[in-house]
């Protein structure tokens, strides 16, 4: 048997209170503490995570001066650049807990796609598609928000997920962000070669109230240290 450590990230509102809580409960060693980000040995805490994945730093750019007959523009304008892209290898989902009641998928998007039907999309192999030059259509150094209109760990997608793991392993130059309400299915949904790569996978667990936090967070934290047989140890 071999033990694999999973670097999980917890998005928190109050970094100081959260750090104090986990130090008291789990006694982990602090590796990095830079204020709004704390790295323990097996997981991270990040404050204002939504800003990080939603857009790049905001840049002020000076505009060109107006010419004859043209009004002078404002001195600066605000440019926002997206860091992430969405990838939906399949679509469809169904409610599993109270938090699903406010899911955007059950709004206008559901009317277009059919909320309970789990189907592959035409972007299933999007990360590994290439152009005529043989280059990836999606350039590296991106964050792919994966299955944000469904759930990555749906049991209906078990067979498709095997192919997706292969794409994720191939595109080591992309970070895949996966948020789930089905963290209980994490151990049974891993590829056979988990632990020999996949450093570009970032798993997040949704919690919407105290009862769900009491149920899901222990499962999520138990995934931070996951035991899996190594292929080299299999005889």
Give the residue, 2 or 13, on which the prediction is more confident: 13
pTM confidence score: 0.63
pLDDT digits (tens, 9 = 90+) for 59-103: 333 334 444 444 443 333 333 333 568 899 998 888 889 888 767
Residues 223 and 8: beta-carbon distance below 8 Å:
yes
Question: Which tens digits make up the pLDDT trace of 170-223?
Answer: 999 998 989 999 999 998 899 988 878 888 898 888 888 888 988 998 888 877
Q: What is the token pair recorded at 162?
A: 């095997």
| DSSP-derived secondary structure letter, 130 | B
How far is Cα 42 from Cα 51, in angstroms, rounded to an integer? 23
pLDDT band at 225 (very low <50, low <70, confident <90, very high): low
Topology of the domain covering 1-49: 3.30.720
The yes-or-no verdict on residue 229 having pLDDT over 80 is: no
Helix (H, G, I), strand (E, B) or coil at 46: strand
Interatomic CA distance for residues 184 and 170, integer angstroms? 26
The answer to whether the CB of 129 falls within 8 A of the CB of 104 is no
Residue that wins the pLDDT comparison between 4 and 123: 123
Domain ranges of the chain: 1-49, 81-235
Query: For position 84, what pLDDT does the model report?
Result: 65
């Amino acid at each position: 048997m071999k033990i694999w450590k999973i670097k999980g990230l917890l998005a928190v509102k109050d970094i100081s209170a959260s750090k104090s809580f986990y130090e008291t409960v789990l006694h982990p060693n602090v590796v990095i503490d830079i204020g709004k980000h704390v790295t323990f040995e097996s997981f991270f805490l990040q404050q204002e995570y939504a800003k990080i994945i939603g857009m790049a730093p905001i840049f002020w750019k000076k505009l060109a001066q107006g010419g004859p007959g043209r009004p002078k523009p404002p001195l600066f304008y605000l440019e926002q650049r997206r860091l992430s892209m969405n990838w939906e290898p399949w679509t469809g989902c169904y409610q599993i807990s109270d938090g699903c009641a406010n899911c955007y998928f059950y709004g206008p998007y559901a009317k277009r796609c059919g909320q309970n039907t789990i189907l592959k999309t035409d972007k299933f192999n999007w990360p590994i598609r290439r152009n005529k030059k043989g280059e990836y259509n999606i350039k590296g150094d991106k964050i792919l928000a994966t299955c944000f209109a469904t759930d990555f760990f749906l049991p209906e997608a078990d067979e498709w997920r095997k192919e997706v793991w292969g794409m994720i392993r191939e595109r080591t130059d992309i970070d895949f962000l996966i948020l789930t309400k089905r963290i209980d299915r994490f151990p049974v949904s891993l590829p056979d070669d988990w632990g020999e790569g996949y450093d570009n996978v970032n798993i997040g667990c949704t919690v919407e109230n105290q009862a769900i936090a009491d149920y899901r967070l222990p499962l999520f934290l138990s995934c931070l240290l996951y035991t899996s047989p190594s292929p080299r140890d299999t005889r």
